Structure 1
Amino acid sequence: MPNKVFVVGVGMTKFEKPGSRDWDYPDMAREAGRKALDDAGINYDAVEQAYAGYVYGESTSGQRAIYELGLTGIPIINVNNNCSTGSTALFLATQAVRSGQVNCSLALGFEKMQKGSLGSTYDDREQPMMRHLLALAELQEFSMPPAPYMFGAAGKEHMERFGTTAEQFAAIGVKNHRHSRNNPYAQFQDEYTLDEILASRPIYGPLTKLQCSPTSDGAGAVIVAGERFIDEHDLADRAVEIVGQAMVTDLNSTFDDKSAISLVGADMTRTAAQRVYEQAQITPDDIDVIELHDCFSTNELLTYEALGLCGEGEGGKLVDADDTTYGGRWVVNPSGGLISKGHPLGATGLAQCSELTWQLRGDADARQVPGATTAVQHNIGLGGAVVVTAYQPAQR
């Protein structure tokens, strides 16, 4: 029978504008990793295996980063899975513990990014997203840069099919910027009106600049352990159980549907969420707080539907009803999300886990969702992979 797996320590740096702070990725990793170890109350030599996630970096950057915590000879595996890199590292660390191969593992993600929109590193070979981009170009006129084009096109399709408005997408930006005011780790902590969001620089389709996640520097770290480990170290009172987790990559429907919404991963998310709900024996109605991948406001609305918070085409109604903020049915992205907290690709999924761990412990300060007992995390990387994870306190 698979072992239970618990989050026992989390830590992250403040997410920063690239180049605004005098640090390098080993500094980021040391800060986030030390915080996670201190949070768990353990030394690095208790960790038996580590997974280091980053997108932009040289081979074995993971070793260089984690060596800041110690040199114990443990296996360190480098992980790169586009924007879902951090949650992929967590997925692997969880698998290692659940299988019984190790008692305690570390997932650490970091990113030192260039300013501006994401670009390619290697131009002498086919780009990983080329198949997706060519498929989308058959549906909507191509534009650069690719990421806002893809998610903006998905938003346009949603508007055409379901009558969703630019104001509904912009309201998600309003919400997430408002939430980030209470997050000291967020890159931005400014609040904007709906008119200000709408009036910011147009990007593609319904997207404006203030509805897009920025490039960021930063790191996050999560320590997971098995039941025997938490008993031996007396960690049960602060442990958070991973009660469901699934990773899904692109399906036939990604391309066969001839839909921008499918091309940006809606079916991956839907499939992963269904598997997690079955594993955890929960429904969307049981969830209190969600950290989801709002790389763009359009993707947050699409993800409402893919996670089953509402029916297809009904995401705008959740926005209008304030159902995804404090006082509503769910609190979505209390951290400010990627739009306002920032998006250092390798760290994003681990920062989401950190936020939800704090929420379930009751340690989220001014961001606290009252009485939160069930949390869901969603992290997506195009090209593609989605990781969905459900959490509950170990002692309920």
Structure 2
Amino acid sequence: MARKVVITGLGATTPIGGDVPTMWKNALKGVSGARTLEDDWVEKYNLPVTFAARVSTPASAVLSRHEAKRMDPSTQFAMVSAREAWADAGIEGLDRERFAVSFATGIGGVWTLLDAWDTLREKGPRRVLPMTVPMLMPNGPAAAVSLDLGARAGAFTPVSACASGTESLHQGIDLIRAGRADVVLAGGAEAAIHPMPLAAFSSMQALSRRNDDPEHASRPYDIDRDGFVMGEGAGALVLEAEEHALARGAKIYGELAGTAVTSDSYHITAPDPEGLGATRALKGALFDARVQADDVVHVNAHATSTPVGDKPEYSALREALGKHVDDVCVSATKSQTGHLLGASGAVEAVMTVLAVYERTAPITINLENQDPDIPLDVVTSERKLPSGDIVALSNSFGFGGHNAVIVIRNV
């Protein structure tokens, strides 16, 4: 029988809170992290989108100046969330050869890469910093976290666009079930609020253009949704074999009961309009967790607020859960945090774990006129989850047709 995997530590730095308690408090209140960007480069490049959701607490306020200078912002965010999760887990005396890290990103060190390119063009090759390559490489967050915490069972980097953070949890559960690790710190980080990604996402008409009203721009399921809001930050979870956690008397938030990963093989950016790949991921995760559709009470949806993205996810949920989907409450937390790309799945996993642990679903904001083609029970005000044994899902779907779903069960 497969080893049971539990969650014993949580960490996050997001646009609605620089740590887990603050983020969770604001997620239950319905706070928006979207703000108008004040940077000079917004006007310099005449960007069509002038707002985003930046982390509420700069990493420089948490990390030392020396270590922050040697990290891309994405790695800084990863380190902040990982240290919080590790401290929360309170693990002592761990065999580091039984401890692994899986820390994801969707884009990687874009700030470092493009700053170095500007330096090369303007000042020549001698002025490019020696630390440029380890700062820009996508595995930078995983490498930095593994070095900081002493993980010697592997340091892995899923890179699957917006499904990356959830795929880190998929990899973590596999490592523990296979007996290759007793503890895995899994997460995702992203720092792409930079003029080039903003221009590129704008060019493909993926971003909301509500420049005059940033806080209400992310509108999952709303008939007037017009794109996502770029976010940044990181989330981290300590996964642990249940017997290992019980032996040390750990606080357990819940069980990572199952996961699944599929691919659409449909289009490089657009989701399968029928949600077929997402459906297979949902059904696969439920099968892996050995739970029935009727056991699910809550879903933290991918729900980016794009005109073409929200409907296929509903179709997938309807197909995977059947008529029971009408009895499941759905939270679309990107309405608050913006879309954290490769970090979104990890941050939303933290929220899903807390929803099960606290028996409370986070709020979806800005839903004023729900799309009649998406008749979900969306959480827009305080909502308690049932007592007894419950199951929640967290969905992530990324460019390239990547689909990843996790199942969280109470303990």
| TM-score, reference length from structure 1 | 0.65
For 1:39, the equivalent position in structure 2 comes to: 88
Cα contact 1:305–1:311 (8 A) shared by 2 = no
- Paired with 1:27 and 1:218, the residues of 2 have a C-alpha distance of 9
Q: List runs of 5+ in structure 2 lacking aligned partners.
A: 16-32, 34-52, 60-72, 110-135, 363-381
For 2:272, the equivalent position in structure 1 comes to: 262
Cα contact 1:49–1:106 (8 A) shared by 2 = yes
1:142-191 CA-partner distances (Å, limit 9, x unpaired): x9733639x9xxxxxxxxxxxxxxxxxxxxxxxxx9xxxxxxxxxx8x56
For 2:312, the equivalent position in structure 1 comes to: 302
- Paired with 1:96 and 1:64, the residues of 2 have a C-alpha distance of 17
For 1:9, the equivalent position in structure 2 comes to: 9
Code of the residue aligned with 1:214 in structure 2: it is V
For 1:159, the equivalent position in structure 2 comes to: none
Q: List runs of 5+ in structure 1 lacking aligned partners.
A: 122-142, 152-176, 178-187, 199-205, 313-317
Q: Structure 1 residue 241 and structure 2 residue 241: aligned?
A: no
- Paired with 2:174 and 2:76, the residues of 1 have a C-alpha distance of 28
Shift of 1:207: 4.0
CA separation of 1:118 and 1:364: change in aligned 2, threshold 3 A: farther
Cα contact 1:276–1:390 (8 A) shared by 2 = yes
Shift of 1:376: 0.6
Secondary structure, aligned partner of 1:271: helix
- Paired with 1:308 and 1:46, the residues of 2 have a C-alpha distance of 44
Shift of 1:20: 7.8
- Paired with 2:392 and 2:408, the residues of 1 have a C-alpha distance of 5
For 2:26, the equivalent position in structure 1 comes to: none
Aligned ranges 1:90-169 → 2 under 5 Å: 90-115=169-194, 118=197, 145-146=203-204, 148=206
- Paired with 2:305 and 2:337, the residues of 1 have a C-alpha distance of 12
Code of the residue aligned with 2:102 in structure 1: it is Y
Code of the residue aligned with 1:249 in structure 2: it is S
CA separation of 1:22 and 1:2: change in aligned 2, threshold 3 A: closer
Shift of 1:114: 2.7
For 2:328, the equivalent position in structure 1 comes to: 330
Code of the residue aligned with 2:350 in structure 1: it is S
- Paired with 1:63 and 1:95, the residues of 2 have a C-alpha distance of 17
Shift of 1:304: 2.0
State percent identity of aligned pairs.
Answer: 18
CA separation of 1:22 and 1:390: change in aligned 2, threshold 3 A: closer
CA separation of 1:261 and 1:71: change in aligned 2, threshold 3 A: closer
Secondary structure, aligned partner of 1:262: coil
CA separation of 1:117 and 1:207: change in aligned 2, threshold 3 A: farther
Secondary structure, aligned partner of 2:291: coil
Q: Structure 1 residue 87 and structure 2 residue 166: aligned?
A: yes
Code of the residue aligned with 1:12 in structure 2: it is A
Number of paired residues?
302
| TM-score, reference length from structure 2 | 0.63
1:83-129 CA-partner distances (Å, limit 9, x unpaired): 111011111111101111111001121111134684699xxxxxxxx
Aligned ranges 1:214-233 → 2 under 5 Å: 214-233=229-248
- Paired with 1:287 and 1:364, the residues of 2 have a C-alpha distance of 14
